[in-house]
Structure 1
Amino acid sequence: MAMKFSGQVALVTGAAAGIGRATALAFAGEGLKVVLADRDAHGGEETAELIRAAGGEAFFQACDVTCAEQVKALIEAGKARYGRIDYAFNNAGIEIEQGRLGEGNEATFDAIMGVNVKGVWLCMREELNLMLGQGGGVIVNAASVAGVNAAPKMSIYSASKHAVIGLSKSAAIEYAKKNIRVNAVCPAVIDTEMFRRAYQADPKKGEFAAAMHPVGRIGSVEEVAMAVLYLCCDQAAFTTGHALVVDGGATVI
């Protein structure tokens, strides 16, 4: 059964590469207009060009999701261009931590929480107010299996993703009767540029990452994108406040 979408416009933050780019392309492939945002202007414009080259419609606006003014301007630009935003995938996030909690520093804490938590909160605040005015919408936030389970040597990152799930569940209840659904997607290790930088230089680390998943491999960005689209589509109309793991069975064991 093909996924169906009542809305016409999707917003994707962190759209310059990886899961964000794959999801933006997937939305466009379903015929939706796409608003793209990222701090990386080159990568964001490249995503927009890929969509246009495939016959879709998209525009990119540079945005630092930790800045309230830039987030507000992004949402206003999307509304000005397309009249509404039906689906929002708050995907922008960072992962810069490798150490035990007692070895952490305040700058790392502020950076991770700033993007992963404040950034999602700022985006949700503007998106929810827009969706209230237009009569509904769907929000999907990028969490992680680190938001469901422990993540040794990544405690701040794990805390940030637990917070994203908390924001998602709380907003889902607050807006359940306003025709707004809010969910989170929780990927395990995915084959992104970030993964390649971190692991593929050391084949043993890459093998270990694959072995973390009972299916014996890491995930693809397209697999996460399809999970996001499912959470947005009409067939998922009874799904809200859910944290959907895309993890090859990693959280089962």
Structure 2
Amino acid sequence: MHADIFRMDGKIAVITGAGNGIGRSFALGLSDFGATVICADRNLDGAEETVGLVRQKRGKADSFLVDVADAASVQAMWEKIAADFGRVDALVNNAGISTASNRTHEMSVEDWDRLMAVNMRGVFLNTKYALALMLQSGGGSIVNIASIAGLRGYYPSGPGLVSNYAASKAGVIGFTRQVAAEYARDKIRVNAIAPGWHGGTALGAERRARISAEEAAKFEQGLIQRIPMGHRGVPDDLIGLCVYLASGASHYVTGQVIAHDGGWDGMVV
């Protein structure tokens, strides 16, 4: 009986940014527990590749093209989800970007706005439409991907966290807690995962493209020294927590932000 609390058979789960990295891991993990996964991404080829991997394991999946920062694109996707599936049981707001690692006084307004459009507006838009559908079907679970960057600052005297990214993830945390309070009595749970420095994602591509191999090695060494467990996480490490929050196993959990960081946030600096 207790093993079944994680099962999601017959449930519909939407994952944004499912075309690679952590989003792909979430799609594969939720599918392993029985969910039909909707892999949404502006990179349709990546989303379709994720769908193919799910189907190779005999799971059920579909791909949707969406730009989470574009209101019309998001609305169109959710209208199609409603028409094709009639419900949604879980939403994982995973899509996000990071910009080049400029200090705040050097940051362009364009980089600030571009990141906020994806990381904050995108979470709001998808949550808005998911909530409407969940209210019709009697509840659900929303899992927002925040970051330890939204919990505390970090500047290792070189390329690292960027203020627009940190601000967006702190915003996701506040948004999570407020929406959780608003919809708790509607049986809609809203929680956030705050990943640490997980490798194997495309998130830091802009930063990596602008620094030398020496700078990258120095940055990596600094990270490892600061993580109590002594190593980075990888996308698959997050699957268990995502399944827990998306499934009925966490039926009495809402408004929570759970750091998944090898002990980073608990370390005194």
TM-score interval (norm. to shorter): over 0.9
Out of 234, 237, 250, the residue aligned to residue 220 of structure 1 is 234
Moved over 4 A (4+): none
Out of 195, 205, 215, the residue aligned to residue 187 of structure 1 is 195
Maintained 8 Å contact 1:200/1:206: no
1:165 aligns with 2:168: no
Length, aligned pairs only: 253
SS at match of 1:138: strand
Q: Unmatched 5+ residue regions in structure 1?
A: none
**Greater radius of gyration (CA):** 2
Instruction: Find the aligned partners of 2:226 and 2:197 in 1 and give their Cα distance.
Output: 9
- Deviation per residue, 1:190-237 (Å, 9 max, x gap): 122336853995433323222231100001111112211111121211
* Letter aligned with residue 145 of structure 1: I
1:229 aligns with 2:239: no
Out of 106, 109, 113, the residue aligned to residue 109 of structure 2 is 106
Q: 1:72 to 1:24 in 2, by over 3 A?
A: same
Query: Which of 58-67 and 70-79 deviates more?
Result: 70-79
Deviation at 1:80, TM superposition (A): 2.3
Out of 51, 54, 59, the residue aligned to residue 51 of structure 1 is 54
* Letter aligned with residue 251 of structure 1: D
* Letter aligned with residue 112 of structure 2: F
SS at match of 2:63: strand
Mapping for residues 47-126 of structure 1, pairs under 5 Å: 47-126=50-129
SS at match of 1:175: helix
Maintained 8 Å contact 1:7/1:86: no
Maintained 8 Å contact 2:195/2:260: yes
Maintained 8 Å contact 1:189/1:247: yes
State the match for 1:28 in structure 2.
31
- Deviation per residue, 1:128-157 (Å, 9 max, x gap): 111111110100011000111114451111
Instruction: Find the aligned partners of 1:196 and 1:120 in 2 and give their Cα distance.
Output: 19
Instruction: Find the aligned partners of 2:84 and 2:226 in 1 and give their Cα distance.
Output: 43
Instruction: Find the aligned partners of 2:112 and 2:239 in 1 and give their Cα distance.
Output: 28
* Letter aligned with residue 244 of structure 2: Y
* Letter aligned with residue 125 of structure 1: K
Alignment RMSD (CA, Å): 1.8
Out of 7, 10, 15, the residue aligned to residue 12 of structure 1 is 15
Maintained 8 Å contact 1:165/1:184: yes
1:175 aligns with 2:189: no
Instruction: Find the aligned partners of 2:187 and 2:102 in 1 and give their Cα distance.
Output: 42
Maintained 8 Å contact 2:97/2:115: yes
* Letter aligned with residue 48 of structure 2: E
Relative to the length of structure 1, the TM-score reads: 0.94
Deviation at 1:100, TM superposition (A): 1.5
Relative to the length of structure 2, the TM-score reads: 0.89
Deviation at 1:109, TM superposition (A): 0.4
Q: Unmatched 5+ residue regions in structure 2?
A: 156-160
SS at match of 2:8: coil
Instruction: Find the aligned partners of 1:200 and 1:75 in 2 and give their Cα distance.
Output: 42
